[in-house]
Structure 1
Amino acid sequence: MYEFDAIQRNVRVHSGRDALAALPDEMRRLGARRAFVVSGRSVAAGTNLVDRIRGLIGDRLVGGFHAIRKDAPASDVEAAVAAARACQADLLLAVGAGSVIKAVRVISILLSEAAPMRDLCTQYPEGGAPVSPKLPAAKLPIVNILTAPTSAQNRAGSALKDDLGGARLEFFDPKTRPASIFWDADALMTAPESLIRSTGFSVYWRALMNVGTMVDANPLVQGDRSHAHRLAMRSLPRAVSTAEYGARIDLCAAALLQNRDEDDGGRPFDTHRIARIVYALAAPIFNRHDAVNQAEAHAALTAATIRMHGDVCPSVVSAIGRAIVGQGDGRGQDETAMSPAVVADVVEQQFRSLGMCVRLRDLGLETPDWGYVIAQAQRNFNADRAREFADETERRKLEQTLEAAW
């Protein structure tokens, strides 16, 4: 835990009432004169955020694309790239949550790199390790204006939905991290209860998974994970049920701490087997089924994964259970062990109390195609960097996990 490297990355965070008023100063700081705004249809049609931005920066807002759909389909991104290029944009404003924010990172890549989209994403050679292409070109600066809490806000990687039905298209470029992030109170309050529940739960789920390996983390990561869990646990119910913007900002802060976790030397996607399996199996489910979001897929898979794989990492599972029942936060070794079966029951009970389904069959899925899900899970770089899931024994365990979660 004491052998680590940490990187403190530059990003400005503007938070609170009328935080968006700092946008003109941010543009001046970045030397930008031609801003291009990207959002989904609901933000453009159902809020005044684009008008607020126009009122703040005037004719420096030169265009926009307002049709990014769930999970950022590649065709939406390509259309946005064409529109931004036609406007000669020199700054990208992402207004929204996860899908929009990760889409804008790829828009920045495609505006700068000369190769086709599918040559720029992570490659999976047959029988070999995944290869993330080097993307040397300078990138347009990005400003993220959040309408909901998301750990996408300060990352360098993005995954797009493949319109052709294949695996997600994964991109990584540190130069696409945002120059600034806005947690504007009014912008955050535009999100409906359903969106806050799903995005907030995703933040909480990651915080809960990270508690499982708190004891082995370095001192900086322990702080990130401990406080992210504390913020998410106390704020999620309030963010959904009240008109208090502070609870939503708390969730944004928890998500930013999850970003910092990795910069401080943590490996949040490699924390333990439970998190890796849920993450890998969930991605193809919510990418294929438009009616299912990431939070719902994670919630429906977690208990079954604990039951099927908890014996491999009993201390992790016990720490997760204790964090839920309030007997610890994972920073020390607690004498009270909790079995995988008990923890799975505790997880189900808590997730239900947060309004989440805990079975895949309750998400309105069609007849399950486990072969497709597993094939895509085996190509998830974040969850399986060493390609362990390609092993036939591992494949069978993944199939059994899906059957148990159904």
Structure 2
Amino acid sequence: MSEDNDLNLRHTSPAYRTFCGDDALRALPRELARFGARRAVIVCGRAITRHPDALRDLHDALGDHLAGQFDGVTEHSPLPVVEQARRFLDEHRADAVVAVGGGSSVVTARAASILLAEKRDIRELCTRRGTDGRLISPKLTAPKIPQWVVPTTPTTAYAKAGSAVRDPVTGERLALYDPKTRAQGLVLDPALALTAPPSLVRSAALNVFAVAVEGLQSRHIDPLADAQLAHALRTVVTWLPRVRKEPDRAQHRLHLMLAALMSGQGSDHTGGGLAQALSHAIGPRSSAANGVVEALLVPHAMRFNAAAAGPRLTLLADLLNLSDRSPAGTAAEVERLLTLFEVPTRLRDIGVPHDLLEEAADHAMEDWAVTTGPRVPSRDDIAELLANAW
């Protein structure tokens, strides 16, 4: 990858509205009215119901627009839960969705909306290998009900078009892609931002950091996306330590949520990365949070990418003000920074059994993100990387 390559890009930013602050929830009725929506369904996990005051503020803001609340979301968006959410949307004649919580709520809401509209088995709708061996995502043409996100944790899922559902029976990751399910906007409320445990906020912010690091190594050079990813990276480095020191300050969390939006939007243009694909394969099969798994794997992915991403790693070193700007030194410095964020350095330290590695390598090869980094790995490359990380 050369720094003086011709600059050829197409950068399209989908319409997106962001509201942040004490009055942010008041925007929701106006946003629903823009789409003529009158029956909004909240999609959330049961944890949020333990904060009735914050939830009541959301209910009051929605007023007569609120048609129901599905609070059965669970981690990793398992297929049976997504099916339950789809039925709930159907039974309540939903014409809008408000996803409340973290990435699992956002993904469950999107996936349920896809199944509701397409009325087909998920395996007919998800990304799969074509006859030529390449991964393809079917075009999902049915209109989708509009979505809004009211988050409790920072997650890059806010503005994405993909929805990954896990089949708990087979262990498969069923990836759906539909730009029509991108959220119309993000509503950042301080009271709801304080409902998540600080540990969950920190692990989610690690995902934001990892996605930005991988996006900045992409072979798809896009200065506009780089700007978003770079500021997301700096924001996490600045504000994540403050969440530990002052866990009850909403402003720290709101900054991380804005970083998550920037990281998610920027990586839409640069693509995912190897650590992301590997965390998708390992995360649901371990006891650790996805953000921790992904962050742990980032330095290993950087070392694998070094030969192809040299100048981009130099950019990363500059952004993080690292003293050693060599590819190997940059990876080592990022690993050191992550240990300051209390990220373990070995998969065995987060309870990943060694006999899981082969299965994880197989699943990673079916992940779209594995194809978008600066260096596309083989199955053997992935197995070696995981062995080194273990």
Q: Same fold (TM over 0.5)?
A: yes
Structure 2 alignment gaps of length 5 or more = 1-5
- Residue aligning to 2:238: 234
Provide the secondary structure at the position in 2 that maps to 1:37.
Answer: strand
- In structure 2, relative to structure 1, the CA distance for the partners of 1:311 and 1:262 (3 Å cut) is closer
Q: Tell me, yes or no, if the aligned pair for 2:234 and 2:320 is still in contact at 8 Å.
A: no
CA-to-partner distance for each residue in 1:271-304, whole Å, 9 max, x for gaps? xxxxx22122221111222x22211111222233
- Residue aligning to 1:217: 221
- Residue aligning to 1:288: 285
The residue identity in structure 2 corresponding to 1:397 is: D
Check if 1:118 corresponds to 2:120: no
Structure 1 alignment gaps of length 5 or more = 270-275, 328-335
- 1:315 is aligned, of 294, 311, 316, to 311
CA-to-partner distance for each residue in 1:150-174, whole Å, 9 max, x for gaps? 1100111111111222321101111
- Residue aligning to 2:274: 277
Q: CA deviation at 1:337?
A: 4.2
Q: Tell me, yes or no, if the aligned pair for 1:211 and 1:320 is still in contact at 8 Å.
A: yes
- Residue aligning to 1:207: 212
- In structure 2, relative to structure 1, the CA distance for the partners of 1:307 and 1:27 (3 Å cut) is closer
Give TM-score, length-normalised by structure 1. 0.87
How far apart in 2 are the matches of 1:56 and 1:317?
Answer: 45
Q: CA deviation at 1:344?
A: 3.5
Provide the secondary structure at the position in 2 that maps to 1:92.
Answer: strand
Structure 1 runs of 4+ aligned residues shifted over 4 Å read none
- 2:366 is aligned, of 379, 389, 392, to 379
Q: Tell me, yes or no, if the aligned pair for 1:167 and 1:379 is still in contact at 8 Å.
A: no
- 2:349 is aligned, of 359, 362, 371, to 362
How far apart in 2 are the matches of 1:307 and 1:175?
Answer: 36
CA-to-partner distance for each residue in 1:321-370, whole Å, 9 max, x for gaps? 4443446xxxxxxxx74241x33332222111112111101102234322
How far apart in 2 are the matches of 1:302 and 1:11?
Answer: 29
Q: CA deviation at 1:311?
A: 3.8
Provide the secondary structure at the position in 2 that maps to 1:67.
Answer: strand
Check if 1:405 corresponds to 2:386: no
- In structure 2, relative to structure 1, the CA distance for the partners of 1:372 and 1:311 (3 Å cut) is same
Provide the secondary structure at the position in 1 that maps to 2:100.
Answer: strand
- Superposed counterparts of 1:162-181, under 5 Å: 162-181=167-186
How far apart in 2 are the matches of 1:375 and 1:226?
Answer: 32
How far apart in 2 are the matches of 1:403 and 1:262?
Answer: 27
How far apart in 2 are the matches of 1:109 and 1:402?
Answer: 34
Q: Tell me, yes or no, if the aligned pair for 1:211 and 1:229 is still in contact at 8 Å.
A: no
The residue identity in structure 2 corresponding to 1:374 is: A
How far apart in 2 are the matches of 1:3 and 1:323?
Answer: 23
- 2:298 is aligned, of 302, 317, 331, to 302
- In structure 2, relative to structure 1, the CA distance for the partners of 1:51 and 1:309 (3 Å cut) is same
Check if 1:260 corresponds to 2:265: yes
Taking only the aligned residue pairs, the percentage that are identical comes to: 30
How far apart in 1 are the matches of 2:327 and 2:189?
Answer: 43
Q: CA deviation at 1:175?
A: 0.7
How far apart in 2 are the matches of 1:323 and 1:262?
Answer: 17
Q: Tell me, yes or no, if the aligned pair for 1:95 and 1:101 is still in contact at 8 Å.
A: yes
How far apart in 2 are the matches of 1:321 and 1:405?
Answer: 22
- 1:142 is aligned, of 130, 136, 147, to 147
CA-to-partner distance for each residue in 1:210-259, whole Å, 9 max, x for gaps? 34459x73332232233222222212212333233222222222222233
RMSD: 2.4
Q: Tell me, yes or no, if the aligned pair for 1:93 and 1:144 is still in contact at 8 Å.
A: yes
Q: Tell me, yes or no, if the aligned pair for 1:299 and 1:357 is still in contact at 8 Å.
A: no
- In structure 2, relative to structure 1, the CA distance for the partners of 1:313 and 1:7 (3 Å cut) is closer
How far apart in 2 are the matches of 1:195 and 1:223?
Answer: 27
Check if 1:346 corresponds to 2:350: no
- 2:107 is aligned, of 102, 108, 124, to 102
Q: How many residues align?
A: 383
How far apart in 2 are the matches of 1:79 and 1:107?
Answer: 8
Give TM-score, length-normalised by structure 2. 0.90
- In structure 2, relative to structure 1, the CA distance for the partners of 1:313 and 1:113 (3 Å cut) is same
